[in-house]
Amino acid sequence: MKHQLVRKAVREFAESEIKPHVSQMDKESRFPWEIVEKMRPLNYFGLQAPREYGGAGLDTISYAICVEELSRVSAAIGLCVTVHNSVGIYPILAFGTNEQKQRFIPAMAQGESIGAFCLTEANAGSDAGGVETHAVETDQGFLLNGTKIFVTNGGVCGTLLVFAVTQEEDKPLQANVFVVEKDRPGFMVGEIEDLCGMRANPVSSIFLEDCLIPKNNLLGRPGQGMKIGLTALDTGRIGIAAQALGIAQAAFESAVSYAKERQQFNKPLSKFQTIQNYLAEMNTKIDASRLLLYRAAAAKDSKKSFSAEASMAKLYCSATAKEVTDLAVQIHGGYGYSKEYDVERYFRDAKVTEIYEGTSEIQKMVIARAILSQPS
């Protein structure tokens, strides 16, 4: 019942406050600050943050439902919300000190400071160990130098988790995560990327040039960066799976509606066996995706290891989004290739869910590793 109420509330908000603006947002590549203002008091930016920090304190299934329903209407807004909550807030809650939580979480949970996670570089993406951004410890703090690319929320973020390496003479290379605020000297935002899909999310590069941050902005213990990064990605994959599911659901609903209305050979498309087969395949994959997603969310809530479950959900949900949106365009025929219909946008938005937060190939590696690590 609780989850049904969450779905109903988010769907009503998305339909009334977001949907009327989605087409224009996509066309103009415009981040909708006016919608963000309406989302803030409703706790969309603190979905799983504890109430003591001003968050909603939701369970992970409720969180997934929120992202799914937002993405059903606007995948770009769903992306902003899931990245902010999963790889922005969650690592601070999981690895931060009490002082760091008190300092960063309240503003993030209220949407006053939007979060981002900076890992990807020109020579580091799937290979997280290839990060070249480096941090040098000084008496004043850490000096960060490097360039991050394809940063989701990059153009609007206020609090970033930056993956960097440190090197000292007597110690091996260490990976670390630093909390960086946008107003730090040496922090710069690059141009907003002109992307195929998710066009209302301001994805950009981030430049760090002798960016000085306090020593107490180091997240976790020294050298714990890889663990923090992988934990953040596991959590983020649940959110991206939910986003992909929302896109697929929207495309499916559009296809069903169009198939019932569109007439060919004096009867609706829905009367043709081929179209019925398409719809059956689409619906089955969406239902299977939802079950995998909720299993991963339940595993996280039960404090069990959920890395493989999150990768399975992300792998399958993203594939479903691509396949379902492709069939939705096919059912619409020529109109599906026109910007007059929403399925064209769903089609563009779906593809990237197979890429970010770990490509589908990386998800298969994670799943295979879990399989092979089990005793025979």
Amino acid in position 171: K
* Residue 296 DSSP code: H
| Residue recorded with tokens 């779905």 | 7
Question: Of 68, 69, 344, 357, which one is the catalytic site residue?
Answer: 357
Please state, in angstroms and rounded to a whole number, the distance separating the CA atoms of residues 46 and 62.
12
The answer to whether 167 touches 223, Cβ cutoff 8 Å, is: no
Whose CA is closest to 285, among 275, 293, 295?
293
Please state, in angstroms and rounded to a whole number, the distance separating the CA atoms of residues 201 and 26.
9
Please state, in angstroms and rounded to a whole number, the distance separating the CA atoms of residues 343 and 347.
6
Is 361 an annotated catalytic residue?
no
Q: 3-state secondary structure string, 63-127?
A: HHHHHHHHHHHCHHHHHHHHHHHHHHHHHHHHHCCHHHHHHHHHHHHCCCCEEEEECCECCECCC
Whose CA is closest to 198, among 246, 270, 137?
246
Alpha helices in the chain (DSSP H): 2-13, 22-28, 33-39, 60-73, 75-83, 90-95, 98-109, 225-261, 273-301, 307-332, 343-351, 360-372
Burial of 374 (0-12, 13-18, 19+ CB in 10 A): exposed
Please state, in angstroms and rounded to a whole number, the distance separating the CA atoms of residues 272 and 275.
5
**Which active-site residues does the annotation give?**
357
